[in-house]
C-alpha cells in the first residue's frame, strides 16, 4: 500500500501544505542570518516507510507526528553495531524509517508482551553525535528524533542523505506514552539500551530543528547568543 504523507497548515484553515516537494526554502541560513522567506510552521503527519522526497519538503520549526514503525536506539547498541562491527539483528532495518534517541524503561510481562515502566521520552542526542553521520549515511534513516539537537557533522549528513532532526517536547513523555507500543526488543542483553521496535500512532508533536538544507536551528540560536554577548561592552550593559 502506498504510504501517505499528510500535512495541514496550523495557521491557515483550508490550505494544505506539501511536504513532499523536492526542496523547501530555508527559514534561516546555517550561519543564522535571516532567509528570503519567513514561513510559518506547519503540522506534518508522516507514515512509515518515509521517503527522501517526504522529508526534503520539511522546514525548520514544522511540527511533526509519526505513525508506523519507530526504532529506539541508545549509546550501547550504536557502539556494538558501528564501533564493534556487530551486524544488526535479523528484523532490524533503519532504511527509510525514523529512529528515536530513547530514554525509557520497560519490562517483559508474564504473557510475553513488553510494557513501558517509565515515560517514552527522548534522551540527550549530543551523546550520540559521533555515530549519527555514519548511521544516516549507511541506512538513509529519514528522521532522527531526540532531545537537545545535534552538531555540524550530523547536519551535513542530513543535507546530503535527506534526513531531518526532530526535537522532542520537554516534559511530554507521559503524553507520548499513549501513542507508542513496544513491538519487539533486540539485543536484550543490553537491558535498557537494547534496540526497540516501536509501533506508534500520531507520535508527537516534535519540532524540526535540523532540515535537509543545511539549517540547524539549535546552532543558529547558539551563534546568535554568542553574537549578542560579544556585542555587549566590557561593563556588560547593552549598547
Structural domain contains residue 214: yes
Q: What is the largest CA-CA distance in the chain?
A: 66
Structural domain contains residue 238: no
Question: What pLDDT is recorded for position 172?
Answer: 82
Structural domain contains residue 27: no
> Can you point out the beta strands (E) in 10-136?
43-47, 63-73, 98-101, 106-108, 114-116
C-alpha cell at 209: 530543528
Question: What pLDDT is recorded for position 205?
Answer: 94
Per-residue pLDDT band at 228 (split at 50, 70, 90): confident
C-alpha cell at 236: 556588560
Average the pLDDT over 50-78 and give the result.
97
Structural domain contains residue 1: no
Q: What is the CATH number of the domain that holds 87?
A: 3.20.130.10
The share of the chain scoring above pLDDT 90, in percent, equals 63
More confident residue, 8 or 100: 100
Question: What pLDDT is recorded for position 230?
Answer: 80
d(CA 137, CA 162): 9
Structural domain total, the chain: 1
d(CA 158, CA 211): 7
Per-residue pLDDT band at 184 (split at 50, 70, 90): very high
Question: What pLDDT is recorded for position 24?
Answer: 44
Structural domain contains residue 135: yes
Average the pLDDT over 175-179 and give the result.
89
Structural domain contains residue 85: yes
What does the mean pLDDT of the chain come to? 84
Answer yes or no: are the C-beta atoms of 99 and 135 closer than 8 Å.
yes
Answer yes or no: are the C-beta atoms of 187 and 81 closer than 8 Å.
no
Supply the range of the domain harboring residue 96.
6-19+36-230
Structural domain contains residue 236: no
Answer yes or no: are the C-beta atoms of 165 and 184 closer than 8 Å.
no
d(CA 92, CA 191): 17
Taking only the tens place, the pLDDT of each residue in 113-165 is: 999 888 777 999 999 999 999 999 999 999 999 999 999 999 999 999 999 99
Amino acid at each position: 500500500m502506498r504510504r501517505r504523507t499528510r500535512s495541514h497548515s496550523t495557521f491557515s484553515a483550508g490550505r494544505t501544505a506539501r511536504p513532499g516537494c523536492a526542496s523547501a526554502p530555508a527559514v534561516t541560513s546555517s550561519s543564522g542570518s535571516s532567509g528570503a522567506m519567513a514561513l510559518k510552521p506547519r503540522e506534518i503527519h508522516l507514515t512509515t516507510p518515509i521517503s527522501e522526497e517526504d522529508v526534503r519538503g520539511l522546514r525548520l520549526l514544522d511540527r511533526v507526528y509519526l505513525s508506523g514503525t519507530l526504532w529506539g536506539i541508545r549509546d550501547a547498541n550504536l557502539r556494538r553495531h558501528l564501533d564493534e562491527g556487530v551486524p544488526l539483528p535479523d528484523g532490524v532495518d533503519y532504511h527509510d524509517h525514523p529512529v528515536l534517541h530513547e530514554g525509557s524503561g520497560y519490562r517483559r510481562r508474564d504473557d510475553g508482551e513488553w510494557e513501558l515502566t517509565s515515560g517514552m521520552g527522548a534522551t540527550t542526542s549530543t551523546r550520540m553525535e559521533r555515530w549519527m553521520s555514519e548511521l544516516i549515511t549507511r541506512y538513509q534513516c529519514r528522521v532522527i528524533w531526540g532531545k537537545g539537537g545535534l552538531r555540524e557533522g550530523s547536519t551535513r549528513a542530513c543535507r546530503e542523505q535527506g534526513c531531518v532532526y526532530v526535537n522532542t517536547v520537554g516534559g511530554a513523555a507521559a503524553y507520548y506514552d499513549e501513542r507508542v507500543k513496544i513491538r519487539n526488543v533486540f539485543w536484550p542483553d543490553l537491558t535498557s539500551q537494547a534496540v526497540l521496535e516501536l509501533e506508534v500512532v500520531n507520535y508527537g508533536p516534535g519540532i524540526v530543528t535540523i532540515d535537509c538544507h543545511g539549517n540547524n536551528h539549535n546552532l543558529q540560536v547558539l551563534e546568535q547568543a554568542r553574537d549578542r554577548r560579544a556585542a555587549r561592552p566590557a561593563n556588560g550593559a547593552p549598547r
